[in-house]
Amino acid sequence: MKITVHGGTDMARALEGCQVPDACQELILDAPEARRFTNCLLNSPLNCRVRVTETTLPEVSYAGLFSMCRNLSHQPFVEMRKCVNMAAMFKGCESARFNLFAFRDTANVRDMRQCLWGCTSISGIGLSSWDFSGLASRDAMRNFAGRTTFRTMFYDALIESLHDQAALSTLPTPMDAVNFGNARYSPSVATERQFLIDYGWEILDGGIESVELSPIEKAFSQSVDSRLEAMSFPGDIDLSPVCTSARGGILISPSHLLYVKHYRPTPGQYVSFWKGERAIVDRVTAGDWDIAVASLRDPVSIRPALVFSNDWKRQMPSLAGPPSQYPSGQSPPCVWFTGRNQVRISDLMYADDSPPVSRIKASVDPLRAAYGGNAVAGDSGSPVCCVYGDRLVVAFALMDSMGNGIFTGSVREWLDEVTQGMVQELVAA
């Protein structure tokens, strides 16, 4: 069911406390000649899609449009290019979990006070794409997101974006009491955050995210760095489970290979391994995410790569949600493999359960960076692995140009089901 409300030239508080039937999937506010939507849906218990017809006027205010809509969890559709006021637009939207990227056209917005205040569940995805150049006063960001918690990775991205805008002198300054609630920033962006403060922004947040490497994370680093320092890389790392044939892949049991779903092999296809062994794919099972497992017609004698255990968060506590980027230079290294069968090194950024994703980035360490070369992390057939001793530990099968992939520790139940419990997990000494 869709409900359309036709309005006039002023929609201020027009639907305050508005209740819609449970069957309503979309509420359309059709008031193209309205200049103000101030507190239009104030205190409404609605939880459906809301679509606002684009105004014909050059400027419009959406101040308080969804203020105190505590149940709203569907992303609204609002054209933002003509918006000049977002003050309290989502204030008190306690159930908001929608993407903020859709509201990125904020170059003309002059006031964002309390815009996300009290959005206790908002993810923060997309906030780093907002343009803050139009803010008109030093109070324009006061209490912007008080009582709100962003995941550290999203808050880091926002700090980096604000820093870039300030470095270009497009960010207005000074700015008082810019409150980001309980969001905690990682050490990797501490310099950028200080730059903002020196620039004239009074930043209020939850402080720095403490990152203490666990013994297993330190072991990952030692396994790679000690070989680099000895000028013996990859040295005696057992690369035999890595596929060198088209579409990549990596052996995770004597009879199973891990792939990304969108670039998986076909039944009957031959696969070749690092030391020349060959096998034939019998069938392929695709997962819900971008991941797939190929079963071999006959098992091979190669020692498989390990996968992360179900309790990976105990082994890697600094990655437990919300994920946090490691301090610069302390990221556990990951090795991955190009289409030319070259070994490359990148640094692990984070892993997470929801969604089950992990990500790598270019290393800042000179020794590791020397193995970055011109290769681009993003070849779908490039398995990404941590190294424990001489064993590869599959973090994920690479799936896109950003270096993202489905983390094996977060999909262990599915891997166990598909392989009938044949995968070998990492057990720390």
Q: Which residue has the higher pLDDT, 229 or 310?
A: 229
Contact 248, 382 (CB under 8 A): yes
87 Cβ contact partners less than 8 Å away, ≥ 6 residues apart:
63, 64, 111, 112, 113, 114, 115
Give the three-class secondary structure for 368.
helix
Sheet holding 404-406, edge to edge: 306-307, 391-397, 383-388, 333-337, 343-351, 357-361, 404-406
* 47-94: pLDDT as tens digits: 999 999 999 999 999 999 999 999 999 999 999 999 999 999 999 999
pLDDT at 376: 55
Spatial distance between the Cα atoms of 73 and 189, rounded to a whole number of angstroms: 30
272 Cβ contact partners less than 8 Å away, ≥ 6 residues apart:
243, 244, 245, 278
Tell me the whole-structure pTM to 2 decimals.
Answer: 0.70
At residue 168 the predicted structure's pLDDT band, cuts being 50, 70 and 90, is: very high
- Both tokens of residue 176? 């008082």
Q: For the chain, what are the domain ranges? A: 215-419
pLDDT at 338: 79
pLDDT at 320: 42
- Both tokens of residue 155? 């808050």
Q: Which of 189-203, 232-246, 282-296, 310-324 has the lowest mean pLDDT?
A: 310-324
What is the CATH code of the structural domain delimited by 215-419? 2.40.10.120
pLDDT at 314: 76
Nearest to 89 by CA among 23, 154, 37, 142: 37
What is the mean pLDDT of the segment spanning 379-393? 90
For 421: left if phi > 0, alpha if psi spans -120 to 50, otherwise beta; the answer is left
Long-range Cβ pairs for the range 217-222 (8 Å, 24+): 217/316, 217/318, 217/332, 219/388, 219/389, 219/428, 220/332, 220/333, 220/348, 220/386, 220/387, 220/388, 220/393, 221/330, 221/332, 221/333
∠ CA 338-340-342, nearest 5°, is 60
At residue 321 the predicted structure's pLDDT band, cuts being 50, 70 and 90, is: very low
* 394-415: pLDDT as tens digits: 999 887 777 888 999 989 999 9
* In the chain, % of residues over pLDDT 90: 70
Spatial distance between the Cα atoms of 164 and 170, rounded to a whole number of angstroms: 9
* 342-372: pLDDT as tens digits: 899 999 888 877 778 888 888 888 899 888 7
What is the mean pLDDT of the segment spanning 105-109? 97
